[in-house]
Amino acid sequence: MKDPFIGCKRPLPLMKGLAKEFYDWCRQGELRFQRCKQCGSFRHVPREICADCSSFDWEWVRSSGAGTVYTWTVVERALHPAFLQAVPYAPVVVEMAEGVRLVSRIIDCPPEDLRIGMPVRVEFEAVSEDISLPCFRRT
Amino acid sequence: MTATGQACIVGIGETAYCRKPGSGLSQMALQLKAALAAIADAGLKASQIDGIMPFPNLGKAEALAANLGCADLRFAATINMGGAAPVASLRMAAMAVTSGAADYVLVPGGWNGYSGERVRETSAGDDDSIPGAQIARDYYMPYGYTAPPQWYALMARRHMHEFGTTAEQLGAVALAMRGHAQLNPAAMMCGKPMTMADYLASPMISDPYRLLDCCLETDGAAAFVVTSAERARDLAQRPVKVLGAAAGQPYPADEITNRREFHRIGLTSAAAEAFRQAGVTPGDADFAEIYDCFTFEVIQQIEEAGFCARGEGGAFVENGGISLGGRLPVNTHGGLLSHAHSLGLGHVVEAVRQLRGVAGARQVKDAEIGVVTGWGDFGDGSIAILGR
Ligand SMILES: [Zn+2]
């Protein structure tokens, strides 16, 4: 399928703080989530401390990369100028095996084929010299 | 909140609402017009207002007070809950007037939502627009997940998957609001009835939301005035009592996707608290004005407020369930979907009209208890139980 985001100047994350750390791992081809060193719970989006046990101790742990589609929407009318040419496209929430969820997209799945529960695996797309974004492919 | 019924809404005001060619007024002028109408409705002078609670990002209390001649402003606050702000402000205003922090609190809001900057294209654009703005920038926007109908569409889709909620049930919400608008000459969609075929044929915006699932964008403003029950006795209108009021947040409130209980929203805890304060149950409500930014949010709030169990909202809204004459008339003025986008203030104004018994052709007969809700940002919620 044709990539709806080809030629699309997508808004990019501000590479600062924990977001920079998250995306720096992505640029190395690794999806990593914070895991609390005290209670072992994973979290996303990145946060300073563990909401379960208040610990400041955490580490970036590599994800298995496997997840399933939790929910999605198909955008047919762009509501941000960067995506005017990209419609239709589908932001998807993926639930990872680690239990955390993230917003992403499935690069090899036309919107009409999306199903909740569909198994997917992470990949990375370089969107600038410094930034790679996690995306997914059907498994 | 403090003791039930000790705070009242004593004045309401609105401007006309319009789309093309626009109000021709500044955002501040629109709000002042509505504020003055509400103050006059109460039988007060503007100089008597000593508390102001502006809507987030739409005006400052200092500027409103300077224009209105409020020389003794003692209380000013803004609740950053987007569309949940007006009802959350009602709750805080009630706390202010019963604690003595202020005597007369004005809650205004208004904008050029059609002719000015379009909210749909700006919502997650800058750092201060919403509480989760930086998260949206870093983790949502790169995927084109940028605007309210898209944020909430993910919730609607998941609800449809888990509970079998259908497109026709979303449509039933849109149709009920449109039906009520036919009875309200002030509604933008008065004279423009809609059928289910019209609904289903409307273009998809962000699946499952079609154009006719989305609220209107309009210019206009509304306002209300809150005081204590004691002071209310000397004013112009029969007071509408705040029997219970609460606000709440989903968890986490600044990020939509990682909620362990995905369908729990701010209203879930707030509604339980407000009904408990009021000493009534959802079944006691004669009507509800429910913040209807999109159709599914009405279904979700009906469930989370306890009008029915989670998952049963789709069936609840079908077959005239939320139309006048149904089990719970919802948005008797037409709501954001078919009246105007009055930021949720119009829902409060309509609830007061119903409880005053002055709602004309759309009056709920013998209305004694009404519920009004707010919804904002990533699912913040507010609710007030009002009584006559
Ligand atoms: Zn922990």
B31-42 per-position pLDDT tens digit: 999 999 999 999
Which residue of chain A comes nearest to B155, CA vs CA? Answer: A71
Per-residue tokens: B115: 């002719």
Ligand 1 center–CA A36 separation, angstroms:
5
| 3 state SS for A34-62 | EEECCCCCEECCCCCCCCCCCCCCEEEEE
Among candidates A79, A102, A116 on the partner chain, residue whose Cβ is nearest the Cβ of B146: A79
CA nearest neighbour of B128 among B58, B31, B218: B58
Span B5-20, mean pLDDT?
Answer: 96
On the question of pLDDT at B295 being above 80, the answer is yes
Q: Which residues, other chains included, contact B134 with Cβ-Cβ below 8 Å and sequence gap of 6+?
A: A14, B127
What pLDDT, in 10s, does the model give residues A51-62? 999 999 999 999
What pLDDT is attached to residue B357? 98
Average pLDDT, chain B: 96
What percent of chain A has a predicted confidence (pLDDT) above 90? 98
CB-based burial label for A28 (10 Å; 0-12, 13-18, 19+): exposed
Closest Cβ opposite residue B142 in set A10, A51, A116: A10
| pLDDT(B2) > 70 | no
Q: How far is B362 from B221, CA to CA, in rounded Å?
A: 21
3-state secondary structure at position B181: helix
* Residue B369 in tokens: 């208890």
DSSP alpha helix (H) spans, chain B: 27-42, 61-68, 85-99, 133-135, 148-163, 167-181, 196-201, 229-232, 266-278, 295-304, 313-317, 335-338, 345-356
Given a cut of 80, whether residue A71 has pLDDT beyond it is yes
Q: How far apart are CA B309 and CA B311, in angstroms?
A: 6
pLDDT classification of B131: cutoffs 50, 70, 90: confident
From CA B217, how far away is CA B119, in angstroms rounded?
8
- In the numeric block, which tokens belong to residue B56? 């987030």
Question: CB-based contacts of B275: which residues, under 8 Å, 6+ apart?
Answer: B244, B281, B282, B306, B385
Residue B171 has pLDDT above 70, yes or no: yes
For residue A71, the chain B residues in CB contact (below 8 A) are 154-155, 157-158, 161
Q: Nearest residue of B to residue A20 by CA position?
A: B138
Tell me how far apart the alpha carbons of residues B375 and B331 are, in angstroms, rounded to a whole number: 14
Separation of alpha carbons B129 and A9, rounded Å:
22
SS3 B232: helix
* Rounded mean pLDDT, A39-68: 98
SS3 B218: coil
> Would residue A90 count as lying in a domain?
yes
Distance CA(A55)–CA(A139), nearest Å, equals 36
Measure A58 CA to ligand 1 centroid, in angstroms: 8
Nearest-angstrom CA–CA distance, B35 and B12: 8
Residue ranges and CATH numbers for the domains of chain B are 7-115+215-387 (3.40.47.10)
Going A133 to B152 to B265 to B6, the CA torsion angle's sign is positive
Report how far Cα B88 is from the mean position of its chain's Cα atoms.
10
Q: What is the pLDDT of residue B4?
A: 85
Total domains present in chain A: 1
Number of other residues whose CB lies within 10 A of the CB of residue A32: 18
Looking at residue A77, its pLDDT comes to 97
B262 CA distance to ligand 1 middle (Å): 21
Whether residue A84 is contained in a domain is answered as yes
CA-to-CA distance for B355 and B286, rounded, in angstroms?
10
pLDDT number for residue B118: 66
Check whether B10 has a pLDDT greater than 80: yes
Q: Is residue A6 part of a domain?
A: no
What pLDDT sits at residue B3? 67
How far does A74 lie from chain B, in Å, by closest CA? 5
Nearest to B144 among A43, A70, A91 (CB): A91
Task: Tell whether A29 is covered by a domain.
Answer: yes
Question: Residue B124 pLDDT > 90, yes or no?
Answer: no
Specify if A9 maps to a domain: no
Instruction: State the helix-helix crossing angle for B295-304 and B148-163, rounded to 10 degrees.
Output: 60
Closest partner residue to A45 (CB to CB) among B120, B135, B161 is B135
pLDDT over 80 (residue A85) = yes
Note which residues in 115-144 of chain B have CB less than 8 A from chain A. 120-121, 125, 134-135, 137-144
Mean pLDDT taken over chain A:
97
CA distance A72 to chain B (A): 5
pLDDT at residue A104 tops 60:
yes
A4 within some domain: no
Between A28 and B129, where is the model more confident? A28
Range of the structural domain that residue A131 is part of: 17-138
Q: What is the average per-residue pLDDT within A100-121?
A: 97
**Closest residue on chain B to A117 (Cα):** B161
Percent of residues in chain B assigned helix, strand, coil, to nearest 5: 40, 20, 40
Q: Is B144 helix (H, G, I), strand (E, B) or coil?
A: coil
Tell me what pLDDT residue B129 has.
76
| Residue B5 pLDDT | 87
Kindly indicate whether the ipTM for this predicted assembly is greater than 0.90, answering yes or no.
yes
Helices (H), B245-288: 266-278
At residue B117, what is the residue type? E
Distances (CA, A) of A33 to A38, A63, A97, B342: 15, 7, 12, 41
For residue A15, the chain B residue with the least C-alpha distance is: B138
In terms of phi and psi (left: phi > 0; alpha: psi -120 to 50; beta: otherwise), the region of B300 is alpha
Task: Assign residue B334 a region (left: φ > 0; alpha: ψ between -120 and 50; beta: otherwise).
Answer: left
Encoded tokens for B145: 């997940």
Q: Reply yes or no on whether the pLDDT at B123 is more than 80.
A: no
User: Is position A37 within any domain?
Assistant: yes
Amino acid at B191: G
Whole-number pLDDT of residue B59: 92
Q: Are strands B369-376 and B287-289 parallel, antiparallel or unpaired?
A: parallel
3-state secondary structure of B372: strand
Q: Assess contact for B125 and A84: CB atoms under 8 A.
A: no
Of A71, A81, A105, the CB nearest to B157: A71
Shortest Cα distance, chain B CAs vs residue A83, angstroms:
7
CA of B165 vs chain A CAs: smallest distance (Å): 14
pLDDT digits (tens, 9 = 90+) for B301-330: 999 999 999 999 999 999 999 999 999 999
Cβ contact A101–B139 (<8 Å): no
